[in-house]
Structure 1
Amino acid sequence: MPGKENGEHAEKTALIVIDMINTYDHPDADALIPSVREALPAVTGLLDRARAVGLPVVYVNDNFGRWRSHHDEILDIALSGPHADLVEPIRPDADSLFVVKARHSIFYQTPLEYVLRHEGIGRVVLCGQVTEQCVLYSALDAHIRHLDVCVPDDAVAHIHPDLADAALRMMARNMAADVRPAKEVVLE
């Protein structure tokens, strides 16, 4: 990654929004939705702050197996569903980047690493869902790519609270992730 040579860290940060464009039409939705509602204010706060200072915002989202879809279609489907109230507040703006993923990690077979390198990003702030799945695996993949990782613990949603707590501890301990409340996250 640029700026990481000779022990230096790239100065730029990107806010990564993971899997928040969602129809909530899956077996774990009933367990996930209350946590999404709880995390939503912190996610929208991060989005507002990042946009206000001109930080890159990258949405990395599952395409739900719709391989001919694009980001507008994925957004339209989520907004036309019964849980549009969870999607509308965090919808991408015209400046947001959008990467489609098929697996748990935001990096696995996606162009995200290239996009971050191109933008000179050395630090990622990960928010979204699911803490004990996609956020955890993405934090690991960011760490092994020598990115500094921050995970606002109140801006990630979970299915299983106990596994989410363990995942946050693992990110902090094993990946040197900066885990703190969203209001304490420095965005510059």
Structure 2
Amino acid sequence: MTRLGSVAANSWGVSHTAVDLVRPIVTPRPVSLPATPQTLTFDLARSAIIVIDMQNDFCHPDGWLASIGVDIAPARAPIEPLAALLPALRRNGVPVIWLNWGNRSDRLNLPPSLLHVYDPAGQGNGLGAALGGEDRHVLEHGSWNAAIVDELSPEPSDIHVAKYRMSGFWDTPLESILRNLRCDTLLFAGVNSDQCVLSTLTDAACIGYDCIMLDDCAATTSPGFCADATRYNVRQCYGAVATGADLITALT
């Protein structure tokens, strides 16, 4: 029989005369690491990492946040830990999913409530606003602004999903991709930890995924108490908090 499916773990066996719906058995690859509230063991073979919004508008000195006076130093803090962790995960067969804010140029799927968050006085300096050259429009898909920062060069095997809300599950194919990958456990990284990371993680937990926030690979430009509250809420209600550094140690 020929295997039919976009990924081996979720494929059928097919021939001219028969269809075999039994998926291949995936050998578990457990790994354990320190975490709060408890030490964790999870299966690398049923996991993926979601890296959220590590893009120029949030993390580059010439990006949108810096242009409106935000100190982006915290948003750049996950770059080095992620640069160390992602190759280790790829070597262990863990899918890397880049979940980047990248709006349509016409913003037709964005309601006024969302536009108001970033342009409260209607001055035209929010989502889609021109920021320099012709290819620079705030968080617009295909623009320099929405591109991943140069220090975190993706590999061809990585998966890219554009999002349009704080959570990456609304109006995107993220959940369909995760189902097709046969994932149970999701590692979360990126910015801002108290906004887009937490929103996506919360939705993931609510639909049944095991969620782990990697604290050294996530950060926020919000005040420190926001990061503290995020860590508390994740470990109290939605999953666990660990570090990429400890995961690298566990993988080696």
Which band: TM-score by shorter chain?
Answer: 0.7 to 0.9
| Contact persistence 1:21–1:91 (CA under 8 A) | no
Segments of 5+ residues of structure 1 without an aligned counterpart are 3-8
The equivalent of 2:99 in structure 1 is 60
SS in structure 1 opposite 2:149?
A: helix
- After superposition, the Cα gap between the structure-2 partners of 1:36 and 1:53, relative to the gap in structure 1 and judged at 3 Å, is same
- After superposition, the Cα gap between the structure-2 partners of 1:32 and 1:123, relative to the gap in structure 1 and judged at 3 Å, is farther
| Contact persistence 2:104–2:141 (CA under 8 A) | no
CA–CA distance in structure 1, aligned partners of residues 102 and 53 of structure 2: 9
CA–CA distance in structure 1, aligned partners of residues 240 and 84 of structure 2: 18
Q: Describe how 1:105-124 pairs up with structure 2 within 5 A.
A: 105-124=167-186
Post-superposition offset of 1:53: 1.4
Q: Which is helix-richer, 1 or 2?
A: 1
CA–CA distance in structure 2, aligned partners of residues 16 and 29 of structure 1: 27
SS in structure 1 opposite 2:56?
A: coil
| Contact persistence 2:189–2:197 (CA under 8 A) | yes
Q: Number of residues paired by the alignment?
A: 173
SS in structure 1 opposite 2:155?
A: coil
How well do the aligned residues superpose, as a CA RMSD in angstroms?
3.0
CA–CA distance in structure 2, aligned partners of residues 93 and 111 of structure 1: 20
Segments of 5+ residues of structure 2 without an aligned counterpart are 1-9, 11-41, 58-62, 108-134
- Structure number with greater Rg is 2
Q: Does 162-171 or 60-69 show the bigger shift?
A: 60-69
The equivalent of 1:93 in structure 2 is 155
**Mapped pair 1:139 → 2:201:** yes
Q: Does 60-69 or 111-120 show the bigger shift?
A: 60-69
| Contact persistence 1:126–1:135 (CA under 8 A) | yes
**Mapped pair 1:172 → 2:223:** no
TM-score, normalised with respect to structure 2: 0.61
Q: Describe how 1:1-188 pairs up with structure 2 within 5 A.
A: 11-23=45-57, 24-26=63-65, 30-31=69-70, 33-66=72-105, 74=141, 77-78=144-145, 87-160=149-222, 161-175=224-238, 177-185=239-247
The amino acid of 1:20's aligned partner reads: M
| Contact persistence 2:103–2:162 (CA under 8 A) | no
| Contact persistence 1:32–1:158 (CA under 8 A) | no
CA–CA distance in structure 1, aligned partners of residues 82 and 68 of structure 2: 19
List per-residue Cα deviations over 1:137-172 (Å, max 9, x = no partner).
111101011101111111112012211110111011
Post-superposition offset of 1:28: 8.6
